Amino acid sequence: MAKIMIFIDGTWLYSNQNNLSKRYGNNFRLDYGKLPLVLGEQISKALGNKEVDIVRTHLFGSNAVNYDPQDEYLVRQRQDFFDLLKEEYHYEVEVYPINYRGNRLRRRDRDENNDFHPQEKCVDIALAASMFYFAAIPYAYDICIAVLGDRDFMPSLKQIRRLGKRVAIASLKESCANEYYDPKDVQRLKDFDIIWIGEYLDKLELQISKRRVECKSEFHEGDRFVYTDEFIRKGQKYYCDKCREKFKKDKYEQLKYIGKPKLEEIDIDHLNNRIGKIKKIFPERGFGFIEAQDGDYYFHYTDITGEKFFKEISEQEDVIFDVVIAPDKNSETNNGKAVNIRFDA
């Protein structure tokens, strides 16, 4: 049985969601749980319907740090996506930070004279290094499926084939380097015909029927049970549309409680798994402050992860959290911003 490992350029695939929607329909959502199975099926057919074993699926991506707090909702959505891949589909996910130096994420939201350009680092190198690493381990995989479109991976694919591994490329016609789909394969990059993801979108569409679920917001008004076709992760609290709209308004309110992001480089290696204590909570308003060694951090009750509810926490309780904005003692409002708060300290 041929062993397969899949390596996905997550930034490339995520940025091509619009191309998938244009091809299949504006409401198309890619089912990442089905993607490895569909790719494996194509390799099995190419091998004469032999059975294959998909050993691992790796995805490499990035997310913003040190960004304008107005974009927290966008960053949280991206992080929720990465968490979903790990928790629901058992992907191996590597996420690398992009320092936005206090800027807005979307170019259209920045001043027209702002020449800031975010720099994604390590993603391509991490993907290539992982393909090499597992290729060098005996019996780790026989076939590498590379889901990508950037020609920068050409040297890596050549060398992996020279190590005796077979290579398959899955890509999109709208965003694929010419060398990958050259029928003569002059560069000797692959061992199979290229897999065009766009040809299998009917199999890859995320389909969820509407069902009745309970809104877990502690500040929900009216009937808690609503109908939704959204995907809800294991252990994730579901919030209805009305409550989420209120959250967005709350996020703008929080700006008066936290300082501005520091524009200089920050120590991005120490943004996660910070330890602190609940300093003050405001139960009726849904926010509070964490006391840590380097200062105080503001948090909203939607920043709490896990099963614990905001009204169940108490002051001086130990917490673990991640940092969006670090406290700045030189700012009039010197509180930082905490997210992903856990009560397992």
pLDDT at 168: 97
- Rounded CA gap, 51 and 47, in Å? 9
pLDDT at 267: 65
**Predicted confidence band of residue 210 (pLDDT cuts 50, 70, 90):** confident
Bridging pattern class, strands 295-300 and 336-342: parallel
**Predicted confidence band of residue 245 (pLDDT cuts 50, 70, 90):** confident
pLDDT at 325: 81
The DSSP 8-state label assigned to residue 304 in this structure reads B
- Written as one string, the DSSP assignment of 60-77 is EEEEEES--GGGHHHHHH
Rounded mean pLDDT of 47-61?
96
Q: Where are the beta strands (DSSP E) in the chain?
A: 2-9, 52-65, 92-99, 143-147, 166-171, 195-196, 211-214, 225-228, 274-282, 287-292, 295-300, 318-325, 336-342
pLDDT at 264: 59
For residue 89 the two structure tokens come to 């589909």
**Predicted confidence band of residue 68 (pLDDT cuts 50, 70, 90):** confident
Position 260 pLDDT exceeds 80:
no
Q: Phi, psi (5° rounding) for residue 28?
A: -65, 135
pLDDT at 57: 98
Express as a percent the part of the chain with pLDDT over 90: 49
Q: Taking the CA atoms of the chain, what radius of gyration do you get in angstroms? A: 23
- Higher-pLDDT residue of 29 and 159 is 159
- Rounded CA gap, 145 and 57, in Å? 9
Position 309 pLDDT exceeds 80:
yes
pLDDT at 236: 76
Coil, strand or helix at 146: strand
The DSSP 8-state label assigned to residue 280 in this structure reads E
For residue 6 the two structure tokens come to 């899949």
CA geometry: angle at 11 spanning 32 and 191, to 5°?
Answer: 70
pLDDT at 269: 64
- Rounded CA gap, 298 and 255, in Å? 10
Give residue for tokens 């990442």.
32
pLDDT at 283: 86
Rounded mean pLDDT of 53-62?
97
The DSSP 8-state label assigned to residue 263 in this structure reads S
pLDDT at 262: 66
Position 160 pLDDT exceeds 60:
yes
Rounded mean pLDDT of 340-345?
80
For 136-165, letters b (16+ CB in 10 Å) and e give eeeeebbbbbbbbbbeebeebbeebbeeeb
**Predicted confidence band of residue 156 (pLDDT cuts 50, 70, 90):** very high
pLDDT at 54: 97
Q: Which residues contact 24 (CB under 8 A, 6 or more apart)?
A: 198, 201, 202, 205
The helices-and-strands tally (H runs, E runs) of the chain is 8, 13
> In 3-state terms, the chain is what percent helix, strand and coil (to 5)?
35, 25, 40
- Rounded CA gap, 18 and 314, in Å? 45
Mean pLDDT, the chain, whole residue set: 88
Q: What is the pLDDT of residues 266-288, one digit of tens each?
A: 666 677 889 999 999 998 888 99
Q: Which domains does the chain have, with CATH numbers?
A: 2-204 (3.40.50.1010), 211-252 (no CATH), 255-342 (2.40.50.140)
Position 234 pLDDT exceeds 90:
no
Q: What is the pLDDT of residues 284-304, one digit of tens each?
A: 888 999 999 888 999 998 889
Rounded mean pLDDT of 230-243?
82
pLDDT at 265: 54
